[in-house]
Each structure stands twice: as C-alpha cells, then as structure tokens.
Amino acid sequence: MIKRIYSVIILSFITLSCARHYDVCIYGGSSAAVTAAYSAAQMGKEVIVVSPDERIGGLTTCGLGYTDIGNKQAVFGVAKQFYRKLGEHYGRLESWIFEPSVALDVMEEYLDHPNITHLKGYHLEKVEMGGAEIKSITASTQAGRTIRVSAPYFIDATYEGDLMARSGVSYSVGREDNTVYGETWNGVQLLDRHQFPDGIDPYVEKGNPQSGILWGITDEELAPNGTGDGLSQAYNYRICLTDSLENMIPIEKPENYDPAHYELLLRLMEAQPDKRELTDYFIWSRMPGRKTDVNNKGGFSTDMIGANHEYPEASYEERAAIVQAHKDYTLGLLYFVGHDERVPEEIRTEMLRWGLPKDEYVETGHWSPQLYIRECRRMIGEYVATQKDCEQKTTVEDWVAMAAYTMDSHNCRRIVVVKDGVPMVKNEGNVEVKVGGPFPVSYRSVTPKREECTNLLVPIALSASHIAYGSIRMEPVFMVLGQACGIAASLAEDMIQTVPAEKIRNIMHTDPYMDGSQADIIIDDGDSCISVSDGWTRTKGRRGYGPTYYELSGDCTEKFVEYRLPADLDGEWDIYCFQQLKDRTNPLAHYSIRMAEHEYRRTFDRSQLQLVGQVSGEWFHLGTYDFEKGDEGIVTMTSDPSEYPLRADALLLVKR
C-alpha cells in the first residue's frame, strides 16, 4: 500500500514538472474545438485537445439539432462538410436537422486523426504566463489525474472563455449600456416577444403583495431601456425526446421536484384559455428518428430565466450546482406539464406521448450533458463586433467567417411592473432584430489585444458586444471560426495577431475541407456567366440561397435563365439547383443540361422536395455528369406558363 501511494506521488510530480509539448493546444470540447483541431492537424501540426467535457461537440452533439443558420450562404469550410456528412447519413445533400448521436459520430471521426490527442474530463487549474505569452496550462480530472501542456499557440474553444480569462485577457460579462458602443438594442429591453400578457398577478397570494412574489421573479426595479447591467441572457437545455414506444423512457419526477416553480405557467395558461396545445408553450421541432429538439417559447417555458447570472465567474463546483438546478427545473417542468391535474388535459395527454430516448446520451442517463450556455464571458479584443457590424454599417476587410442570424437575446430576468396601477409579471431582455444579411466577422475579434496575449485565439468567447454576440453565437459560425483559428495557429510564426486574414480565407476557400479535395463551384445570380431573357428582375429576399435571386412574374412563356459552366471541369460532377419552397413559386421548372454533343433534360416540381429545418429552400439534384476539360457546359432553366412567380437562383457543382 505504501509503495502504491509513493508511485502515485512520483507519477504526479513527473506529470507536473515535465510538460507535454504540442504545436497547438486547444482547451474546450465544443464544435469549434473539433474544427480547430482537425484543421491544424491536417496542416501537419501536432494537436492536443484538453476538454473539460466527456462528450465532444458541445451543443451540436447535445440536443441543438434544429440548426440556427440565418442563411446557408454564411456557412463554409469544414462546417459545411459536417452538414454534408450528416446529409450522407440521412440520404440528402446536406442535413441541417439531426439526432445528437449521429452528430457525435461525425465529430468523433474528425478527431480520429494521427496528429490529434484528445483528453476528456480535464478542467483548467493553472495558466503559466511569460510576459504576454501563455507558456503552459495545467488541467486535472475529478479522479486526480493531472497534465501540464506547453505549446507555442493556444485556442480557447470553451463557451465560458476560461483559458482566456485566466490568461489575463480583458473581457466583459452581460449587457453593456447602449452608450458604450453607440447601440440601440443593448442593455435593458422590455419588449413583447416571449412575454406574459398584461394582468398576470406576480404574488403568491393573488392581489396580496405581503404574501411575497412567486418563484422565478425578482424584486429588482426596471431601469430605462438601454441601461447596462451585466446580466446574461437565460440558459436552457435543447431537449431530445422521442414518441417511439420502443425507444422511450417515461419522464419521472426529479428528486428536487417543486411544483411551486411552475405556478406562473398555470397563471399563463389561465390567461390564454384558447391555447391548449403543447406547441403553444414549447418550440417542438421534430428531428429524424422520431425525436425532437425542444426549445423555449413564450412567457414561461424551458428558459430558467435569471438562474444563470452567477455562472460566468463561478467555480467549477458552483457551476455544477447551477447546471444541476437547470436540469431539475427542466425535467420538473416536463413532469409537471404531463402530470399536474391543473394543466389542461389536452396538453397533459400530448406531453405523456413523449419520453427520453433510450439510444441517446446513454452515459448520462439519457439526458444531455451540455447546458445551453448562450452567452458567458466575451473577450474585449483587437476589434469588438457591435450592432453596426450586424447592420452592415462597417467595413471589415480582415474577415474569416460570416454571421447571418437575427440579433437575438433571450430574456435576462422576470420582474414586477406596474401598468395603469396594476402590478403584473413581465419578462425583460428578449430582443429579436433582423440583420441586413450575412455580415463579416473580423479576425481581430478572435485575437486578444496584443499587449495582453500574443499566442491565444478565442473562437467562441470572442470579442463582441452583447447584442452583436446574439447574432454571431450560432454553432455553424463557431465551427467556421474554429477552423479559422486552427489555420491561423498553423500559419503563425510570431504573435498570432500578425497572421494575415487573407491567407486564412484563401485556405478556407481553396481547400475548404482541408483534404486537398476540389472545392464546390457556386454560380449565383448576378455572376457574369449567367444570361437571362427579357422580363427578369433581380430581387432581394430572405428566401433564396443568397441575398438575391431572379424573379419573373406574368407570362413565363419562352423565358429562360442560362448558366454557363466553367470550361476547366474534369471528371464527374453533381449539379444541383436551389429551389425556393416557402411560397407558391416555381410550380414546374424545366432544365436542359448541354455538354459537348450531348443534351440532358430534367424537370422539377414542388412535390420532389420538402423543407427540412430552418431553411426556405433546398438543393434539387439535376444529375451527375462526366466532363472532359474544354467541354462547354450550359444549364438552361425554363418554365411552363404559370400564374405564380418564377424564380431562378443559384447553381451548385460538387466534384465526385
């Protein structure tokens, strides 16, 4: 026994005193950690991923299967390949909705690489600095295993920004005042979305302030709109359930169940008696495999509003308690909705059709191990993205990714307001404002100020104001930024801030999958290789592949759009056309594919595709064609006469 203890002490001493050295050290287990590690490894670097999580992939593998993308055009590189790999699994080109276990399999494929070492369950304990450089990090597991890692370049790929913070880099938490960056949607915001209707009593005993306020409500006073307060938007779980009896585990009462936590939900239901469906209180998105991605909706739902404010600066033990409280709240909510007799019977009956999937999260009791940390620390780097970036009022030339989602903040707190002399409960903090289209994310937003740290990259807890972060903070964008950081760490020869963004972009566009394969070719409206007959107008809209498309109204007879293909195509290529499906456009479109002396014809009608996920259109396969260099290829779209508008959008060529 004495010998065993002695050997453990010696082993720990050796581990701590002799750091393992790698070319790139990534701390974090998110989707950005995966794309960063894979990209750097493909560039020949020896990479270590030190993950505090046991499951890799972050929210992408932990329930967020209904991908928030804003615009598919903003997603490229390994991130696009990830959704293509999911598409292969589900039998289509790309899949933007997916099961957690399928996403995990794909993520693990990327990390199964000879140049990547992956350690799970290691929490950061110490960062050794030498001037403005990280020299090494020390991390340990709950079981007492400790590792010290040195590297010339580090990447913080956590949602929390823990490595960034311990490196002495400047950061902010929560909402800034609008005056800080000249914004209008930051700070306190009392608006009508995901809100309680007027008149819902906030007191334990209705009408009696002396009885105290209900659980989940704060007695803080409401400051003027735009006031900064350091509060972060609410966290929740993206919930994977199933209605397959063969695959279902019933939801049981959690150990810390307290029905008083859901009294406000009952009062909300009383206030809107016409709402008697489960989807009136949850965003209930169907996933493949008879599963779900359930998200927050309305005044009272899966967001545990106000329970996360201590999380960013909390210890690991304190964070674990906050995470457990969210789990208890969420499982309690699902149990309450299915079993409490005060809930309308229609809603209870529907809820009881659903349970936990036996084939998901097997290691963690079939419940997601990852709480949705929508926002935590945010670096104050060389460039701070703000509302003006989202609105395309700035010029960002050193971009390495594109964001396109709404400026989105969930509620931050639940308060009592007095309207016409009547106290009532309201949620505060929700913002949903459309952006002007895909906008660039600066490389300087993932680099610290050079006087603070010269060898760190931060793709998730990046440099942005609260409201700009609300648009950028989507998993596909994190994956693109992770790839950019992996490439930057591989290119760097000096301080990380001096890597040219143009070089990073060039690699991501010429070798997007980091494997030397041929990049896709996109021919979109407005390109010089497109010809259109009279009558077409170039229209701006959110339903196309990109920001614009061609539209033709009225008589469509003998009208066409002609796409001239590049003359250097060689080998087999799949050709796709983008078809919009959200309104009654393109009821019947004919395509002619001409190459050399051959001509092929395809016809598209709306029944051949369906919308899958948060998209407004899909790629329709026009076929696989074998080209020889020098072949002149032309794709022509025409349509039958129709009372509905005809739209022509992008053409996609994918090398086999």
For position 606, which CATH number holds?
Answer: 2.60.120.260
521 closest CA partner among 575, 572, 571, 476: 575
* pLDDT value for 597: 81
Amino acid making up residue 434: K
* pLDDT value for 499: 98
Distance CA 563, CA 576 (A): 12
**Is the Cβ–Cβ distance between 103 and 95 less than 8 Å?**
no
**Is the Cβ–Cβ distance between 300 and 236 less than 8 Å?**
no
Q: Does residue 206 belong to any structural domain of this protein?
A: no
Q: Does residue 560 belong to any structural domain of this protein?
A: yes
Please, where are the H alpha helices in 463-525? 466-472, 475-491, 501-510
Q: Which of 364, 399, 418 is at the close of a domain?
A: 364
Distance CA 654, CA 576 (A): 8
Mean pLDDT of 102-130: 98
In what order do the strands lie in the sheet containing 116-120?
A: 116-120, 47-51, 24-27, 153-156, 456-457
In what helix (H) or strand (E) does residue 5 lie, and over which residues does it extend?
helix 2-17
Q: Does residue 394 belong to any structural domain of this protein?
A: no
Residue 585 pLDDT class (50, 70, 90 cuts): low
Lowest-pLDDT range of 44-48, 145-149, 457-461, 634-638 = 634-638
List, in order, residues 6 or more apart from 533 with CB less than 8 Å away. Answer: 558, 559, 560, 561
pLDDT tens per residue across span 480-535:
999 999 999 999 999 999 999 999 999 999 999 999 999 999 999 888 899 998 88
DSSP code string of 562-589: EEEPPTT--EEEEEEEEEE-SSS--SEE
Q: Roughly how many angstroms between the first and final C-alpha of the chain, as a whole number? A: 61
**Is the Cβ–Cβ distance between 603 and 592 less than 8 Å?**
no
List, in order, residues 6 or more apart from 405 with CB less than 8 Å away. Answer: 68, 69, 70, 435, 470, 471, 472, 473, 474, 477
Q: Which of 346, 364, 382 is at the close of a domain?
A: 364
Number of domains, the chain = 2
**Is the Cβ–Cβ distance between 72 and 580 less than 8 Å?**
no
Query: For tokens 């196309």, what's the residue?
Result: 544
Residue 584 pLDDT class (50, 70, 90 cuts): low
* 3-state secondary structure string across 14-70: HHHHCCEECCEEEECCEHHHHHHHHHHHHCCCCEEEEECCCCCEHHHHCCCCCCCCC
* pLDDT value for 3: 35
Domain interval for residue 625? 521-655
Q: Does residue 330 belong to any structural domain of this protein?
A: yes
Q: Does residue 576 belong to any structural domain of this protein?
A: yes
The model's pTM: 0.94
Q: Does residue 540 belong to any structural domain of this protein?
A: yes
Amino acid making up residue 653: L
Q: Would you state the torsion angle of the CA atoms of residues 412, 418, 420, 422, taken in this order, to the nearest 10 degrees?
A: 120
What residues are paired with 418 via a beta bridge? 423
* pLDDT value for 544: 82
Q: Does residue 325 belong to any structural domain of this protein?
A: yes
Distance CA 279, CA 424 (A): 24
476 closest CA partner among 47, 112, 94: 94
Q: Which of 364, 396, 424 is at the close of a domain?
A: 364
Residue 631 pLDDT class (50, 70, 90 cuts): confident
DSSP letter at 518 equals P
Which tokens in the block code for residue 435?
Answer: 């952006």
Distance CA 609, CA 617 (A): 9
Residue 428 pLDDT class (50, 70, 90 cuts): very high
Q: Does residue 578 belong to any structural domain of this protein?
A: yes
**Other CB atoms within 10 Å distance of the CB of residue 171:** 18
77 closest CA partner among 374, 517, 469: 517
Provide the 3-class DSSP secondary structure of residue 271: helix
Mean pLDDT of 39-63: 98
Q: Is the pLDDT of residue 12 over 50?
A: no
pLDDT tens per residue across span 205-251:
999 999 999 999 999 999 999 999 999 999 999 999 999 999 999 99
Provide the 3-class DSSP secondary structure of residue 341: coil
Residue 587 pLDDT class (50, 70, 90 cuts): low
Query: For tokens 């009392």, what's the residue?
Result: 190
Distance CA 151, CA 24 (A): 6
Distance CA 187, CA 175 (A): 5
